[in-house]
């Protein structure tokens, strides 16, 4: 069983969502023609591949967790998107197929940098782009609950300081053939339920059901207790920033 196996049923439903305007904005900024081939690396249940599907010609998803591949297939079918799935790691991706767009969402810290860069250099077209994407809830006056929520989650995590996750895309690509071409950001607000935020915590690898184990009931209760004072009938306000850091070869 992989590290993300126990997160699958929570991931697609509860992770911070990318709004439709994010995909539209990125597509416009990149001047996508609609005939590009896209590969979503570490695709999970496929939110990036599915979101960009209307703006490209073909989509493929790659993930080492078989249950995530199945979730991506199901989500793509439900969305009416044709998705080619590849179980496995980017470091082992075979030669022979070239992509114009490669997306990565919250995956850099799991990759073997040298091997992954070697693969990207092989499979990304000369004018292709690599997009490192993420959607993150941000602290605002309307969301005072975020900091205590994060502190509670970190106190139960198997990596409380989250050192593994502190990788800047610019640093990861430094010295490679892919230069920094800027970042696109889109902000949107939404209402979120306490139950959604509990599910979000369980979707993360460091606070997953497999990490919580027999403590899961207590973990959920701790989150509920810290969020209830901020909620209105179990509902809170949230602001999410979706970003795409863009990398490509010099033209």
Indicate the domain borders of the chain. Answer: 5-248
Angstrom distance (rounded) from CA 160 to CA 153? 8
Cβ-contact 123, 98 below 8 angstroms = yes
Predicted TM-score (pTM) of the model is 0.93
Cβ-contact 104, 133 below 8 angstroms = yes
Q: How many CA atoms lie within 13 A of 198 on its CB side?
A: 19
Q: What does the DSSP assignment read for 157-169? A: SSSTT-GGG---H
pLDDT at residue number 12: 86
Superfamily of domain 5-248: Vaccinia Virus protein VP39 (3.40.50.150)
Cα torsion for 8, 10, 12, 18, to the nearest 10°?
Answer: -130
Question: How high is the mean pLDDT in each 10-residue block of the chain (251 residues)?
Answer: 73 94 98 98 96 98 94 96 95 90 92 96 96 96 96 86 71 95 97 98 92 94 98 97 96 74
Angstrom distance (rounded) from CA 211 to CA 197? 17
- C-alpha pair distances (Å), 220 with each of 96, 104, 149, 205: 46, 29, 11, 15
């Amino acid at each position: 069983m992989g590290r993300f196996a126990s997160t699958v049923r929570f991931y697609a439903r509860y992770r911070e969502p990318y709004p439709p305007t994010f995909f539209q904005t990125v597509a416009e900024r990149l001047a996508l023609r609609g005939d590009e081939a896209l590969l979503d690396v570490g695709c999970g249940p496929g939110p990036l591949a599915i979101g960009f599907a209307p703006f490209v010609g073909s989509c493929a998803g790659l993930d080492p967790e078989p249950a995530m591949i199945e979730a991506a297939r199901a989500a793509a079918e439900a969305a009416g998107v044709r998705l080619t799935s590849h179980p496995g790691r980017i470091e082992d991706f075979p030669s022979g197929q070239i992509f114009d767009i490669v997306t990565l969402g919250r995956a850099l810290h799991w990759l073997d940098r040298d091997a992954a860069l070697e693969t990207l250099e092989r499979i990304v077209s000369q004018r292709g782009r690599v997009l490192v994407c993420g959607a993150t809830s941000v602290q605002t006056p309307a969301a005072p609950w975020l900091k205590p929520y994060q502190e509670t989650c970190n106190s139960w995590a198997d990596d409380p300081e989250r050192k593994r996750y502190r990788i800047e895309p610019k640093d990861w690509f430094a010295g490679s053939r892919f230069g920094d071409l800027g970042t696109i950001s889109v902000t949107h607000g939404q209402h979120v339920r306490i139950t959604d935020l509990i599910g979000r915590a369980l979707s993360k690898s460091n606070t997953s059901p497999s990490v919580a184990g027999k403590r899961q009931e207590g973990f959920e209760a701790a989150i509920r207790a810290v969020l209830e004072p901020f909620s209105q009938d179990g509902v809170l306000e949230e602001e999410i920033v979706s970003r795409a850091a863009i990398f490509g070869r010099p033209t």
